[in-house]
Amino acid sequence: MSDGVVDLSLIDLALVYGLVLFVAGLARWNGIGQERDLLWSSLRMIAQLLTVGYLLKTVFSLASPVPVLLILLVMGGFAVHAVGARVQERMPRFHRVVGISLFIGCFGATFFFCTLVIGLTPWYDPRYLIPLAGMIIGNSMTGASLAAERLAAEMKERRLEIETSLCLGANARQASAEAVRGAFRAALIPSINAMAAMGIVFLPGMMTGQILSGTEPLLAVRYQIAIMCVITASVAVTTFLILIFGRRGFFTRAHQLRLDNFTK
Amino acid sequence: MMKGVGESLALEDVRKTRRDPEGNPVEILRGINLVVPAGSLTVVVGPSGGGKSTLLRLLNRLEDPDGGRILLAGVDIASLDPLALRRRVAAVPQVPFMYDGSVLANLQRPFVFRNLPQPSADSVETRRVLDLCRLPAELLPRQARSLSVGQQQRLALARALLLEPGVLLLDEPTSALDPPTADQLGQSLRDIRRERGLTLLMLTHDLRLARRVADRAAFLESGRILEEGAAADFFENPRADALRRFLSAPEAAHE
C-alpha cells in the first residue's frame, strides 16, 4: 500500500466495534430500543464486507478477466432485480427493457472511462474496474427505478392529456412527450442535486477514500469530477433508453394507449 | 365559406369485451348495429354504464372492437391508418383538456402534431370557428386553463373543428354546463352542422338538448341498441319499454 496509510489492526477494529456495543448497551439500558437492529445490522455489515474483502483479494491475485467480468455481471443482475423489487407500477416487458437499458448505459460509460480515458492496463484491472463500475451501476440503478416508476405513473396521471392528443392527431411519441419529459426530470434530479452540492454539503466517498489512502487531494478531486461526469452520463443514457423503449409498451401499433397494461 | 363534407358511419355487429379488476370478461357492447347517415346529427342516449363512451372510442380507433366492423364512408376503419382516420373523424372527450398556453396555442396544437402550417389569430378560418363556437376573439391570447369550464368545452370543440373533419364525435358535451350555457352549445352545434355539412354523433344525458338538435336518435342500454330512428318519432312515440321509462325518468336510469 501507499506510504501514508496507518495500519488498522484487529485489536483496533475490536475497540471501534466496542463503540457499537456501547451504544447498543445504552439503548437497552434506557429502554429506547433498536439495540437488536443495531447489533444485527452491524454483524451483517462485518460479514458482508469481510466476504467482499476476501473476494476482492482473491480476484486481484488471480490476474484474469473472467472473475472480474463475473462480478460485474452479478452486480448488473442484482441491479435489474433491485429495480424490479422497488418499482410498484411496472411497464410492459419490464425486465427486458430495464436490463438492456442498464447494460448499454453502464457498459458504455464504464468502457468509455476505463478504456478510452484512463486506459487501464490490463484493461480489466479489478482495482479500478470493480469500484468504478460499482458506482456507475449503483447510481444508474437508482435512476432506472425512478424513471420506470415515474413513467408508469405519468402515463396513468396524464391519460386524459394523452388521449386528447391522440384524438387531435398526435402519434404515440407526440402524445407521450410530456410524460416522458416528466419521468426523465425525476430520474436525473438525484444526479443533478449531487453534482450541485458536491464539496459543499458533503465530501464524496470516493474522493475521501483516495485522500485517506494517500492520494494527492487535487488528483482525488480530478477523479471525483471524472466519475461524477461518467455517472451522470450513464444515468442519463440508461434512463433515456428505459423511457424510449418503455414508452412503446404503453401504446399499440395503432397509436392507442393500452388500458390493460397498468398492472404489476 | 368552405363547406366540409360529412361522411357516413355504419356499425355492423360491433362487440367489445373488457376485463373487470378480478380479470373476468365483461361484455360492454353486445353486437351494435347502427347507421349514422352522412350529414346527420345523431344522438345516442342511454343510462351510464351502458357502453356509450366505449362505443365512441371505437369510432376513431382509440380502441378496436373485438368483433364486427365499423365502416366510414363504406370503408372498414380497421384498414385505415389511425392517424389519417382521426383527421377525418374528430372526437371531443367529455372532460376538455387544455394544453398549457394560450387559447390560440391550443387551437394550433393539432396542426403542430400533424406538421401542418398553423392558422394565425386573424385568419378567416380561426375567426369563423370561434364565431361558431361563440368564443370572442379577445380570448385568443388568454391562458386556456384560466377559461371557465363552458368556455373550455367550446374551445375543445373549436380545436376539433379547425381541422375540418368529416365526422365529429361528442361525448356528453353539456355534462358540466348549466342550462343556458348548454343551450348556447346546442345552438353552436346546429350552426356548425348547417355551415359545415359534417356528420355529428353525440352521446348525451341531456334529453332537452337531444330533442332540440338531433335528427336521428338511438337508445343504448346494457351494450345493445334497443331502439333507433328519426328523432321526432324516437322521442314522441318510443316503442321499447326501456326507452319509454328512460325518457320519462332519465335521472332514475342513471343508477
Least confident of A170-184, A221-235, B2-16: B2-16
Whether B210 maps to a domain, the answer reads yes
Quick one: pLDDT at residue B250?
66
Phi-psi region of A257 (alpha: psi -120 to 50; beta: other; left: phi over 0): beta
SS3 call for A47: helix
Whether B108 maps to a domain, the answer reads no
SS3 call for A84: helix
Would you call B159 an interface residue with chain A, using a CB distance cutoff of 8 Å? yes
- For the record, the C-alpha cell of A216 comes out as 494527492
Q: CA of A172 to nearest chain B CA: how many angstroms apart?
A: 10
Of B163, B1, B139, B37, give the one whose Cα is nearest residue B91. B163
For residue A259, is pLDDT > 80?
no
Query: Residue B68 burial by CB count (10 A; 0-12/13-18/19+): exposed, middle or buried?
Result: middle
Quick one: pLDDT at residue A3?
55
Q: What does each C-alpha distance from A128 to A99, A109, A220, A226 come to in angstroms? A: 23, 14, 14, 13
Across the interface, whether the CB atoms of A174 and B83 are under 8 A apart is answered no
Contacts of B160 in chain A (CB under 8 A): 167-168
Which chain B residue's Cα is nearest to A158?
A: B97
Tell if the pTM clears 0.90, that is, is over it.
Answer: no
Q: pLDDT tens for residues B3-61?
A: 457 899 999 999 999 988 888 899 999 999 999 999 999 999 998 888 999 999 999 99
Quick one: pLDDT at residue A263?
42
- Of the partner residues B62, B95, B160, the one whose CB lies closest to the CB of residue A166: B62
Question: Which of A158, A162, A164 best tests the B interface by mutation, with the highest count of B CBs <10 A?
Answer: A164
Quick one: pLDDT at residue A7?
84
| Helix, strand, coil fractions of chain A, as percent rounded to 5 | 75, 0, 20
Domain count, chain B: 1
Quick one: pLDDT at residue A195?
87
- Of the partner residues B62, B109, B114, the one whose CB lies closest to the CB of residue A163: B62
- For the record, the C-alpha cell of B152 comes out as 373550455
Query: Residue B144 burial by CB count (10 A; 0-12/13-18/19+): exposed, middle or buried?
Result: buried
Per-residue confidence band for A1, with pLDDT thresholds at 50, 70 and 90: very low
Q: What does each C-alpha distance from A237 to A154, A188, B50, B136 come to in angstroms? A: 20, 10, 47, 47
**Domain carrying residue B21:** 9-97+167-254
Residue with cell 426530470: A185
Which chain A residue's Cα is nearest to B80?
A: A254
Quick one: pLDDT at residue A218?
92
Contacts of B83 in chain A (CB under 8 A): 169, 171, 255
Whether B133 maps to a domain, the answer reads no
Contacts of B110 in chain A (CB under 8 A): 168-169
Would you call A162 an interface residue with chain B, using a CB distance cutoff of 8 Å? no
Whether B114 maps to a domain, the answer reads no
CA distance B90 to B60: 7
Average pLDDT over residues A99-126: 91
Whether B155 maps to a domain, the answer reads no
Across the interface, whether the CB atoms of B83 and A171 are under 8 A apart is answered yes
CATH code at B204?
A: 3.40.50.300
Helices (H) and strands (E) in chain B, counts: 10, 10
Quick one: pLDDT at residue B251?
62
Across the interface, whether the CB atoms of B113 and A167 are under 8 A apart is answered no
> How wide is the angle at C-alpha A199 spanned by C-alphas A197 and A204, nearest 5°?
95
Contacts of A171 in chain B (CB under 8 A): 83, 113
Across the interface, whether the CB atoms of A169 and B110 are under 8 A apart is answered yes
Across the interface, whether the CB atoms of A167 and B62 are under 8 A apart is answered yes
Would you call A3 an interface residue with chain B, using a CB distance cutoff of 8 Å? no
Average pLDDT over residues A35-42: 90
Would you call B97 an interface residue with chain A, using a CB distance cutoff of 8 Å? yes
Across the interface, whether the CB atoms of A167 and B163 are under 8 A apart is answered no
DSSP bridge partners of B14? B32
Low-confidence ranges of chain B (pLDDT < 70): 1-4, 250-255
Contacts of A168 in chain B (CB under 8 A): 86, 90, 109-110, 113, 159-160, 163
Quick one: pLDDT at residue B255?
41
For residue A2, is pLDDT > 50?
no
Contacts of A259 in chain B (CB under 8 A): 63
Whether B220 maps to a domain, the answer reads yes
Q: Residue B68 carries which DSSP code?
A: E
